């Protein structure tokens, strides 16, 4: 993506002193940067106008490079091409920065954070996603605290000068969660994101309390960022009482679908009627990679524990353990985009890339 696709603004608020850290701040769109238009509708704000609503940012000893997409998008319109735009920006600028903060709409933030956790695995720098439930122009907005604390986390270093949280995360309403463990759980409350199957990485209050044992360890080795190929022939098949054979076949017999997230009951259970098992077996024989993910927010798939999941195990369905639906979808897209071997793709789905499953 050329610089025509984004705008750049550098703000050295630490000047004339050396900055505590250099932060890359990327604005993709979302509620946090919205303002009211003449018609009363919320529209993306100019980046400089946003800064007028965050006076506290001038108290931070940081050098901040602001990058804004030329056309900020509502996160409901996010597509893998946008993930690659963000990755390309990071690739172009991360070498001169200590940490990265990404402003993103909440609706698909968990998907983007999961996708980038795979693509940026090994970057060993903080990449903190944040946003807001209320626009930054609203008096009661949660945008200020979310943004300011995200900047602090992205710039935090230990006594050795190493980043404290060298992984992709989401900060929202006092809580820092691993990006590929997060799920949006609230649309009207400020505590929008939760991590049901993995502990919080940090909590903010009077101070920021880091949960060091569960944070990804820092490594001096660093990857060269590559732009992934995302395979979009993915589908989600939620199981429910009364689901018909026609509905199942519409997904599993579709030649363009090569990866399916099967949303099952409880610990990975599904109906055992013959037609359903036959549909699953035939899809696996046709090398459709099916991953079993629980419909429950908390808990994990233990395929084979009950008879109602043993038939899935026997058919060749891959257990998703405690992975989220968002992380499973994006991992399928990431793995199938680069892996031609069906067996190798299964192995990679079963193997954690960056802490997305236990």
- CA 345 to each of CA 83, 94, 257, 281: distance values in angstroms, whole numbers, following the listed order: 21, 30, 15, 18
- CA 131 to each of CA 47, 110, 175, 190, 285: distance values in angstroms, whole numbers, following the listed order: 14, 12, 13, 11, 43
Catalytic residue among 28, 31, 65, 112: 31
Rounded to whole angstroms, the Cα distance separating 271 from 355 reads 30
Segment 41-46 long-range contacts (CB within 8 Å, at least 24 positions apart): 42/135, 44/72, 45/135, 45/136, 45/137
Residues 87 and 5 sit within 8 Å (Cβ to Cβ): no
**Of 172, 159, 175, nearest to 218 (Cα)?**
159
Q: Could you give the 3-state DSSP secondary structure of residue 342?
A: helix
**Of 325, 350, 357, 323, nearest to 335 (Cα)?**
350
**How long is the chain?**
358
| DSSP at 229 | P
Task: Assess whether 70 carries a catalytic annotation.
Answer: no
Residues 277 and 315 sit within 8 Å (Cβ to Cβ): yes
Provide CB contacts within 8 A for 23, sequence distance 6+.
Answer: 62, 63, 64, 65, 97, 98, 99, 100, 101, 151, 154, 155
Task: Please identify every residue annotated as catalytic.
Answer: 31
């Amino acid at each position: 993506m050329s610089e025509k696709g984004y705008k750049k603004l550098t703000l050295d608020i630490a000047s004339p002193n050396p900055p505590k850290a250099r932060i890359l701040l990327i604005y993709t769109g979302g509620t946090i940067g919205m303002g009211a238009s003449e018609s009363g509708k919320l529209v993306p704000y100019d980046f400089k106008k946003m800064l007028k609503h965050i006076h506290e940012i001038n108290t931070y000893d940081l050098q901040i490079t602001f990058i804004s997409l030329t056309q900020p998008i509502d996160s409901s319109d996010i597509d893998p091409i946008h993930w690659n735009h963000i990755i390309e920006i990071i690739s172009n600028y991360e070498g001169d920065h200590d940490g990265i903060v990404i402003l993103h709409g909440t609706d698909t933030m968990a998907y983007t954070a999961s996708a980038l956790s795979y693509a940026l695995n090994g970057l060993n720098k903080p990449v903190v996603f944040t946003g807001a439930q209320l626009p930054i122009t609203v008096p009661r907005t949660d945008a200020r605290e979310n943004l300011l604390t995200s900047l602090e986390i992205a710039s935090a270093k230990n006594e050795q000068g190493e980043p404290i949280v060298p992984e992709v995360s989401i900060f929202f309403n006092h809580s820092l969660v691993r990006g590929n463990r997060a799920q949006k759980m609230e649309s009207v409350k400020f505590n929008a994101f939760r991590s049901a199957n993995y502990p919080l990485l940090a909590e903010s209050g009077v101070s920021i309390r880091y949960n060091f044992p569960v944070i990804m360890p820092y490594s001096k080795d660093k990857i060269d960022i590559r732009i992934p190929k995302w395979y979009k022939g993915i589908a989600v098949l939620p199981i429910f009482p009364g689901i018909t054979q026609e509905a199942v076949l519409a997904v599993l017999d579709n030649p363009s679908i090569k990866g399916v997230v099967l949303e099952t009951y409880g610990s990975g259970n599904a109906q055992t009627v013959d037609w359903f098992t036959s549909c699953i077996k035939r899809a696996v024989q046709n090398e459709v990679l099916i991953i079993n993910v629980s419909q429950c927010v908390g808990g994990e798939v233990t395929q084979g524990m009950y008879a109602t999941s043993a038939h899935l195990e026997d058919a060749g369905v891959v257990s998703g353990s405690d992975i989220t639906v968002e992380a499973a979808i994006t991992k399928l897209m990431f793995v199938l985009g680069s892996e031609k071997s069906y067996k190798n793709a299964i192995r990679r789905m079963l193997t954690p890339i960056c802490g997305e499953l236990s």
